[in-house]
Every structure is written in C-alpha cells, then in structure tokens.
Amino acid sequence: MQQIDFYMVDAFSRTTFSGNAAAVCPLMEWLPDETLLKMAKQHNQSETAFFVVSEKGFELRWFTSLGEINLCGHATLAAAHVIFEHLDYTGSSIHLETRFVGPLTVTRSGEWLTLDLPAWHAEPITPPPLLLDALGIRTYREVRVARDYLVVLENQEQVAALQPDIQAMIPLGKMICVTAPGDKQYDFVSRVFCPGDAVPEDPVTGSAHSMLIPYWADKLQKTPMLAYQGGERGGELRCRLEGDRVFIGGQATTYLTGKVFLRQDEHAVGKKALATLKSAGCP
C-alpha cells in the first residue's frame, strides 16, 4: 500500500477560507498520468500540484479534474509553501522544472513567496457576441486574447457587480479574465471565470496575472503594482514586470494535511528525498 503525503493550501492568502485552495502531493517518482488525473478528480479542487525531487530542484506538474494544464500560478505557490514549510527546505529559492513553460523559480522573503513566470501579451480583438452576452455587459474599454480572453471594464465596481452566465461561456473554449483599474488601494482588480471546469470562478489566478501584469504595466506606466482578484473569495498579489518575466508575490497558509493511500509500491517524498537533493548540491 503506497502512502502519499497530501496537503491542501490556501494560496494568495494569509488566512484560511480566502485566497485560492490547491491540493499538493509530493511524489518519490512520477505515477502514470491516468493515476494523477484520478487523484486530481478525487481531490475535487481547481488544481492539484504534483512534484518530484530532481537534480536541479523539483519537477512540477498541474492537473485539474479534466486533465493536465500548462501553467497554474496558485498551485505553484501552494507547492512552494509545502516545500518551504513542511519539507524542511532551507534555501531561499526553489527551482522548478515544468513541461510546458520551462523553468520557474519561487523565492521566499519572510511570509511572502514570489513566483517568476513568463509574461503573456494579449492581442486586441473584436469580442465574440457570446462573450459579452454571457458576461451581461454592453460597455467596456477593450477585449483582448492570449491563452484566455481579457475583458477590460471601466472601474472596480463593474467588475465586482458581474453576475455572468458561466455555463453559456463553455462554447468559447477559453477562460475569461475581467479586469479594471482599482480604487485607491489597488492598481488593478480582476475576476476569472472558468467555464466547464469544476470551479466556475477561480478565486485568485496566478497564471492570469502573467497576462494582466504586462497589460496594466503598459497602461498605468508603472511597476511594481498591487492587485486584487476575487469574488466571494479573493486575495492580494504583489506584481512586477521585468522584461519578458512577471513576478507575482503572495502568501499561503496550510488548511489540511493527510495521507493518500494507493495500492502501488510507492512512497511519499519527505526528509529522505530532501537529503538526496542536498547531496546533489542543492541548498
């Protein structure tokens, strides 16, 4: 019987019941993709982060209940939180190898963790009528597209008041990020809707800020910036643009720890695996 450590972490939050929850499972070695997907479905969170120790640091992958995805910011933050807080990792930076977006780094400064992610630039488009109808809006500044749709509204109040028909968005085939300039406290705000996923609205989305940060850095002519994302739940993000990279800072807190039991001859990663990492020359 294989036992795998399991953590549930609220990312981009200093308290439980806010921010964005992610499941995190350290592994001794990669399990079959079919098993990882079944585990993610069982966890029933927006994303589950799986990682293994590697020669350069850690290999990281993200699964929703539907399949593997190319990038998830909040689950990366959650995985880094587990490595720093629960696996006795003493370094100040974690190096993560990913399949789709290359190497990532998470650095720690006090209670804040900062993600180093690739910047995504959205291109202006004429919005599909279905997009505007599903959001229930008629007035907007502009609409752009990259991996996700980016809909820019006039002010923070418009974003907060949205009551979209998320089911109607499914034919669009993309997540929808709605944003606007913030009030005096925040430089910009956003909400992210995920049609067809288990979680219809993502509380705090690190990957969406790979697109938001370059956009608002250009529009506001400033960096760093302080952002807020969220509807019912939400969280703060410290944002900075440097060339073709974005740096996203947030806090995280552990909500739950436990064990996953699988009928396979595997073992959970822990101090022994980290000893292996240190012997390979990593901090």
What tokens does 71 get?
A: 């990038």
**Residue found by looking up tokens 């980290």 in the block:** 274
Angstrom distance (rounded) from CA 276 to CA 283: 11
Instruction: Tell me the C-alpha to C-alpha distance, in Å, between residue 167 and each of 14, 36, 135.
Output: 32, 27, 11
What was the pLDDT predicted at 127?
A: 96
- pLDDT tens column, 201-249: 999 999 999 999 999 999 999 999 999 998 778 899 999 999 999 999 9
Distance of alpha carbon 206 from its chain centroid, rounded? 4
pLDDT at 277: 54
What does the pLDDT read at residue 274? 55
- Per-residue pLDDT band at 169 (split at 50, 70, 90): very high
Q: Tell me the per-residue pLDDT of 33-61, one tens digit each, with 9 for 90 and over.
A: 999 999 999 999 989 999 999 999 999 99
For the cut 50, the answer to whether the pLDDT of residue 269 exceeds it is no
Q: What is the CATH number of domain 123-227?
A: 3.10.310.10
Angle at 207 between CA 205 and CA 213, to 5 degrees: 95
- Inform me whether the pLDDT recorded for 66 exceeds 60: yes
* Bridge partner residues of 260 (DSSP): 4
Secondary-structure breakdown of the chain: helix, strand, coil percentages, each rounded to the nearest 5: 25, 40, 40
What the block records as the tokens of 42 is 């069982």
What residue type is assigned to position 167 of the chain?
Answer: Q
CATH 3.10.310.10 placement within the chain: 2-118+252-268, 123-227
85 catalytically annotated: no
Q: Degrees (nearest 5) of the Cα angle 134, 139, 143?
A: 70
Structure tokens at 142: 């502009």
Beta bridge partners of 239: 225, 248
Cα separation, 174 vs 176, whole angstroms: 6
| CB-based burial, 233-242: b 16+ in 10 Å, e otherwise | bbbbbebbbe
Which residue is catalytic, options 34, 47, 85, 97? 47
Q: Where are the alpha helices (DSSP H) in 202-252?
A: 206-220
Cα separation of 62 and 69, whole Å?
6
Q: Cα(146)–Cα(208) distance, rounded to whole angstroms?
A: 10
Query: pLDDT for 155-166, tens place per residue?
Result: 999 999 999 999
Average pLDDT, the chain: 92
- The per-residue pLDDT for 267 is 42
CA 170 to each of CA 142, 151, 165: distance values in angstroms, whole numbers, following the listed order: 21, 16, 10
The count of residues in the chain is: 283
Cis bond upstream, residue 164 (ω within 30):
no
Q: What is the DSSP string of 98-124?
A: -SSS-EEEEEEETTEEEEEEE---PEE
CATH 3.10.310.10 fits 2-118+252-268, yes or no: yes
Bridge partners (DSSP) of residue 161 are none
Using DSSP's 3-state secondary structure scheme, residue 68 falls into strand
What are the residues whose beta carbons fall under 8 Å from the beta carbon of 107, sequence distance 6 or more? Answer: 92, 93, 94, 113, 114, 116
